[in-house]
Structures are given as structure tokens and as C-alpha cells.
Chain A
Amino acid sequence: MLKVDRLGKKYGGRWIFRELSFELGVGDRLVILGRNGAGKSTLLRTIAGLTSRTEGTVMLPEGDSRCTLGLCALEQSVYGQLTVAEHLQLTADLRGCPARIDELLEKVNLDYARSRPASQLSTGMKARMKMAMAIQANPAALLLDEPGAGLDEEGRMLIDQITAEQATRGCLIVATNDPLERRLANLELQLV
């Protein structure tokens, strides 16, 4: 489903990671651990194609990557002027998938803020909105970067629910500093 083969990323003359290989199938949930600056976020971005790789290959799930791949990252920016519902409509129109705005907002418990501009959302609310955008097309591979950051207890339960659902339809990669988020995975990768 998702295959990473001898992946390497060099930045400023230093290898961030090198010779990384793994293969994930349906139901596989991989957690990437490592200290700050170990390259966890860079690895996710490289898999998603947002950062160029120095060597190796990444094989994404078959199909249009706009729909088969979902990414939710802490540092991902959103449009401050657009509302929550408009963000979901935008990503659905660009992906060519159903918007499912009511269903997704209910799922991430953000229905009450659907008409609020993103600039007026708290960090946790933005994280929920980004999560809704990431799972909108029911992706075969879901990449989560620090998914619990900024979320309250209810938000963490939501992450548990979403990762469990993801395991039934595809694979999941979580990059985190939080040892508690090991609970989300059945596979571990330590970056040094």
C-alpha cells in the first residue's frame, strides 16, 4: 500500500535520515519517534511529496494522491479569511470528492464554528479542522504530525477514534514527541 525504499534526505550537507525502508499495508499504524530535530516532520513531508528526497523512492497507494493521501500537520497553514466550512468545500472541490461538511464537522466536533474564519480559531480548533480536511477523501494513507498537540482530552479521544477508523481502510503514520501517542500505533520507528 505504502512503500518507502532506501529513503534519504540531506539538508545543508547533513543527512537528516538515510537508508530508511518500510512497507505498510492495511491496518498498519506506524509511529515515528525521535528527539526534536531528528527529522520526523521532514520524513512525513518527504513521503507526502512536499519536500524533495535526496535518494530512495516512495510508492504511495494507487490512485490520485490528492485523494489517497491525507496529511495533518501542526505547522500546516490555513487561510485566515476563509471559514471552517469554506475550507472543507475548497479542499473537496480541488480533490474532486464529496465535501461531507456536516458529517466531518460533526465528527471533529466543530459544527458550532462552521461559519467562523480560521483566523478566529484556537490552536485546537484549527487542529480539528485540519484533521477534517485530511480525512475528507477517506485516504488510504493518513499522515499525522504531532496530532495531539494543542488538543484537549476530548480532542485526543477524537484522534484515537480517527486512527482506529483509518486502520480499517488503510495505513497510518504518526510522527510525535509524545510517548503517550505510542498507543495509536502497532509499529514503531525511532529516528536518531
Chain B
Amino acid sequence: MNSSWFREIRAVFMKEWQSEMRSQSGLITGLLFSVVTVYTISFAMLNTKIKGTEVAGLLWVALLFSSASSLPRIFLAEEEQGTAELLRLVARPHSVFWGKALFNSLQCVVTGILLSVLYLGFSGKVVTVPWLFAVCLVAGCLSLAGAVTLCGAIASQAINRAVLSAAIAVPLLLPLVSLGVSGMRVSLNDGLMSDGVGAAIGLVGYACATMATGPYIFAAVWKS
């Protein structure tokens, strides 16, 4: 990647960062969502012994809803506010996608870490394979961010943007959630190690695939 691409991607990322730091809407929404979700699940599971699979499943459900409700906004808002035209005039689609996907990835990883710390703290579940948990969390968040960013980008020019974005997300995200739960439950001492490693590899591959193909799909939509 040459310096021009780096400069462009950094510019899009910084635009999102500066806007977020000043409005803090995504940050506060994510924080509130994490705390409320963890509190609700913990309250519902009070005095109940839960398995690693259930912990992993609930954690992924929380991550999925948190991402699917906030991350596509990054593209939808550009169209709704009319600022997408400014980007179309001065930016290349690949740098727009990567800049936004990078910002969404950061937001998703931060939310994922926050959710995990709170959730594991409240549930009292111990992570027995920390490296596997970390790989599944980070690769899962990157995959989620890439896929959800792509959904937002594809749906951004439709009339019913929010509905379409959610509808496209379902088939894209279900295999991802399945892989995430499979990997994470092993790290919580529930299942075979080989299954966990396979799921982790699948998540890394998913993350690479969405980040690599996303810009090309987005470019076609962006120019049409």
C-alpha cells in the first residue's frame, strides 16, 4: 500500500474519529448497551450455573446486536445527511470503505472487550484458553465490523436503508456467529480444542475475506 492510499484511509478514519469524539453518540450507545445487556443477562441467570456454550452464545448475541444496530450508521448517515456526495467528488471508494471499516473495527473491538470483561466478571466464568478467547474475540469483531460495514454500504443508497441493511446482514452474519460461539465456548472449557482452533481459523479467514472483497463490492455500488 503506497503513501497515497495510507493518507486517504487515514483521512476517512480521522474524520470518523473526530466526529465520534465530538458527538460521542456511538461511544455512549455502545457503553449503555454493554452495561444494560450484561446487567439483564446476569439478573436473569442469577443463582444459575451456566455452561461455556451458553456464556459464549449470549456474549455473541450481545455483540451481534450491538454491531448490527450501530455500525451500519457510518454509511447510512452519510447518505441521509447528504455528505456522501462530497466524498464521491473527492475520494476513491476503496479508501472510503477501508477507512470506515477500520473505524468500525476499532469500535467493535472496544465494545467486544468491554462486553467480555463485564460479562465474564458478572458470570464468574473463567477463560481456560485465553489465546483462543482473544483470537475469537478480535477476529470475530473484525469480521463483524467488515460484514456490517459492507451491509451498510450496500444498503446506503436504497430508500429503505435500515431495513435492507438488517435483511442483508442476516445471511452474512449467521455463519459468523456460529463460528464465534464454537470457538469461544472451547476457550471457556466447553468442547474439543480442535473444534475451537478450527473455528478460530474460520473467523480469521472470514475477517480477511470481508476486508479484501468489501471494497470491490462497495466500489460497484458507490459508482452506480
What number of A-B contacts does a CB cutoff of 8 Å give? 61
Find residues 31-84 in chain A having any chain B CB closer than 8 Å to their own CB.
Answer: 48-50, 52, 66, 69, 71, 75-82
On whether the beta carbons of A81 and B23 are closer than 8 Å, the reply is yes
User: In whole angstroms, how far apart are the Cα atoms of A77 and B87 in the complex?
Assistant: 10
By beta carbon, the residue of chain B nearest A67 is B90
A49 → chain B closest CB, angstroms: 8
Find residues 77-130 in chain A having any chain B CB closer than 8 Å to their own CB.
Answer: 77-82, 86, 89-91, 93-96, 117
User: In whole angstroms, how far apart are the Cα atoms of A48 and B86 in the complex?
Assistant: 11
User: In whole angstroms, how far apart are the Cα atoms of A96 and B116 in the complex?
Assistant: 40
B49 → chain A closest CB, angstroms: 47
Contacts of A81 in B (CB 8 A): 18-19, 22-23
- Which listed residue, A50, A75, A90, touches B11 by the CB 8 Å rule? A90
B11 → chain A closest CB, angstroms: 3
How many of A's residues come within 8 Å of B, CB to CB?
A: 25
A133 → chain B closest CB, angstroms: 8
Q: Do A76 and B22 form a contact, CB below 8 Å, given A50-B89, A94-B91? A: no
Residues of B within 8 A of A (CB): 4, 7-8, 10-12, 14-15, 18-19, 22-23, 81-83, 85-92, 95, 224
A selection of 30 A-B contacts at a CB cut-off of 8 Å is A49-B88, A50-B85, A50-B88, A50-B89, A52-B224, A66-B92, A69-B89, A71-B89, A75-B82, A77-B81, A77-B83, A77-B85, A78-B83, A78-B86, A81-B18, A81-B22, A81-B23, A82-B18, A89-B11, A90-B15, A91-B86, A91-B90, A94-B8, A94-B11, A94-B90, A94-B95, A96-B4, A96-B7, A117-B22, A133-B90
